[in-house]
């Protein structure tokens, strides 16, 4: 560059002369600051400070969620709750009617049923599933659910979605009679696909030590009473999604559920898990229940016998209950073998009770009065060497 070009464009922008000119200093002042052969560069402009929100975590959104869910939690409160949502920990005392209280704890999630909720944009009942999976588990020992805690983790918190989920959790707690006393909401930027979340739930109950149910009194000849499920509940959804992929079925396609209701396939797949607490807890006061099983992962084949003493097995007769159309659809569209169906899904039976043969009719009559659909689905027998712990006739 020659001197003409330089004078036409002004001094180089890295020179103090240029800087002084921009600042409005007289030329003679600027010339006094620097020699013609040396210049100092400007420092970089100041950067704006980072916030937690810049990193992907919105504290204000978390605060808004807490305010949204407080009314739902209040609906679930029990008299034993001393301090619930809002503190670092929740306080709850044991019911005074228990002389030798034993705590029973359980934890679970919802699994890939969540993927269908995401696909359909429906989050109102997935919280019921979360509660059901844990409270039905602790019910097996005869426990009265006392309180529930949830963990909600996502990539970015959507307050409306999270509010719908927690409302469902509160609905489930109301059905189970337990208090929603706290939980945790976490944003993990970059760790989840946008718009997705995961859930975990934790239930604690109490049972009188002398009334805890451990299955040790079960004997050959006892009856097995099955309580109807509301659908798939919350197990086997990885296989379900594979069947949907293979069949090309649309979630909004009409589906006949056997009840005559006009629903879609997605409606049937998202039906919330049935909570058995109220009916079964009432039954315990009138019938000697020797054992129970919550039919979850592993289906009927892997869960029915879990509380049996060694040497005993369950013999189930599938002709004694009607398998809902959804299970038949899965078997047909997925080409799923019968053994695989029985070790993956509940096949229409969500909970199993073991009672003495002489009390079967009384138990069935009582359960019918509570609104449960119950049937004698099999019996306990001596285990045959080499045979499975649960067999089907």
For residue range 235-261, list pLDDT tens digits in order: 999 999 999 999 999 999 999 887 767
pLDDT category of residue 9 using cuts at 50, 70 and 90: very low
pLDDT category of residue 7 using cuts at 50, 70 and 90: very low
Which regions of the chain does DSSP assign to beta strands (E)? 81-83, 91-92, 101-108, 144-154, 179-187, 197-208, 223-228, 254-256, 262-264, 289-294, 312-316, 349-355, 374-382, 390-392
Bigger pLDDT: 107 or 13? 107
Give 292's strand partners: 353
* Largest Cα span, the chain: 114
**Collapsed DSSP state (helix, strand, coil) of residue 368:** helix
**Residue 35 reports pLDDT greater than 60:** no
Average the pLDDT over 280-297 and give the result. Answer: 97
Helices and strands, counts by H and E, the chain: 14, 14
Residue 362's nearest CA partner among 293, 294, 289, 310 is 289
**Residue 84 reports pLDDT greater than 90:** no
Strand 312-316 and strand 197-208: the pairing is: unpaired
Confidence at residue 40, expressed as pLDDT on a 0 to 100 scale: 59
pLDDT tens-digit series, residues 196-215: 999 999 999 999 999 999 99
CATH 1.10.579.10 describes domain 59-211: no
Average the pLDDT over 259-278 and give the result. Answer: 93
pLDDT category of residue 29 using cuts at 50, 70 and 90: very low
**Backbone dihedral angles phi then psi of residue 245, each to the nearest 5 degrees:** -60, -45
**Residue 360 reports pLDDT greater than 70:** yes
**Residue 25 reports pLDDT greater than 60:** no
pLDDT category of residue 21 using cuts at 50, 70 and 90: very low
pLDDT tens-digit series, residues 304-353: 999 999 999 999 999 999 999 999 999 999 999 999 999 999 999 999 99
CATH 3.90.650.10 describes domain 223-392: yes
Residue 187's nearest CA partner among 196, 179, 176 is 196
pTM for this prediction: 0.86
Q: Where are the domains of the chain?
A: 3-33, 59-211, 223-392
Q: Which residues of 3-26 are buried (b: 16+ CB within 10 A; e: fewer)?
A: eeeeeeeebeeebbbbbbeeeebe
Average pLDDT, rounded, for the chain = 90
Confidence at residue 39, expressed as pLDDT on a 0 to 100 scale: 57
Domains 59-211 and 223-392 share a fold: no
Q: Which residues contact 380 (CB under 8 A, 6 or more apart)?
A: 218, 219, 220, 221, 222, 223, 224, 308, 312, 313, 314, 315, 354
**Residue 231 reports pLDDT greater than 50:** yes
Say if residues 390 and 295 touch (Cβ distance below 8 Å).
no
User: What whole-number percentage of the chain has pLDDT above 70?
Assistant: 89
C-alpha separations of 181 from 80, 105, 144, 325 in Å: 11, 15, 16, 38
d(CA 341, CA 349): 13
d(CA 336, CA 344): 10
Say if residues 119 and 251 touch (Cβ distance below 8 Å).
yes
Structure tokens at 103: 């705590």
d(CA 363, CA 369): 10
Give 101's strand partners: 208
Say if residues 90 and 81 touch (Cβ distance below 8 Å).
yes
Say if residues 265 and 243 touch (Cβ distance below 8 Å).
no
User: What whole-number percentage of the chain has pLDDT above 90?
Assistant: 80
pLDDT tens-digit series, residues 121-168: 999 999 999 999 999 999 999 999 999 999 999 999 999 999 999 999
């Amino acid at each position: 560059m020659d001197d003409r070009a330089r004078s036409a464009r002004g001094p180089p922008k890295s020179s103090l002369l240029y800087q002084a000119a921009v600042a409005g200093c007289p030329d003679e002042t600027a010339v006094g600051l620097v020699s013609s052969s040396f210049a100092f560069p400007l420092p970089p402009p100041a950067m704006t400070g980072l916030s937690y929100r810049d990193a992907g975590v919105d504290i204000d959104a978390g605060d808004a969620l807490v305010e949204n869910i407080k009314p739902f939690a209040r609906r679930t409160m029990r008299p034993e709750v001393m301090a619930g949502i809002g503190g670092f920990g929740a306080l709850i005392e044991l019911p005074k009617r228990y002389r030798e209280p034993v705590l029973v704890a359980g934890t679970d999630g919802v699994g890939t049923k969540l993927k269908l909720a995401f696909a359909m944009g429906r989050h109102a009942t997935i919280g019921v599933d979360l509660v059901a999976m844990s409270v039905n588990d602790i019910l097996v020992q005869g426990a009265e659910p006392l309180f529930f805690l949830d963990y909600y983790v996502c990539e970015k918190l959507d307050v409306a979605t999270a509010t719908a989920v927690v409302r469902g959790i509160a609905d489930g707690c109301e059905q189970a009679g337990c208090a929603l006393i706290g939980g945790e909401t976490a944003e993990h930027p970059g760790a989840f696909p946008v718009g997705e979340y995961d859930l975990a739930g934790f239930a604690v109950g109490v049972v009188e030590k002398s009334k805890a149910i451990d299955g040790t009194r079960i004997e050959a000849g006892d009856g097995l009473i099955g309580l109807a499920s509301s659908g798939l509940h919350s197990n086997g959804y990885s296989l379900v999604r594979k069947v949907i992929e293979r069949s090309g079925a649309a979630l909004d396609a009409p589906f006949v559920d056997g009840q005559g209701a006009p629903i879609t396939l997605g409606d049937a797949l998202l039906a919330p898990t049935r909570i058995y607490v109220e009916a079964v807890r009432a039954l315990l006061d009138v019938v000697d229940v020797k054992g129970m099983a919550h039919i979850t992962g592993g289906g009927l084949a892997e869960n029915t016998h879990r509380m049996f003493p060694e040497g005993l097995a369950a013999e189930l007769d599938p002709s004694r209950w009607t398998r809902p159309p959804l299970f038949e659809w899965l078997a047909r569209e997925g080409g799923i073998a019968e053994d695989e169906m029985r070790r993956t899904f509940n096949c229409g039976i969500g909970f199993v009770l073991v009672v003495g043969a002489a009390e079967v009719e009384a138990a069935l009559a009582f359960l019918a009065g509570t609104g449960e659909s119950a049937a004698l689905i099999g019996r306990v027998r001596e285990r045959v060497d080499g045979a499975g712990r649960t067999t089907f006739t």
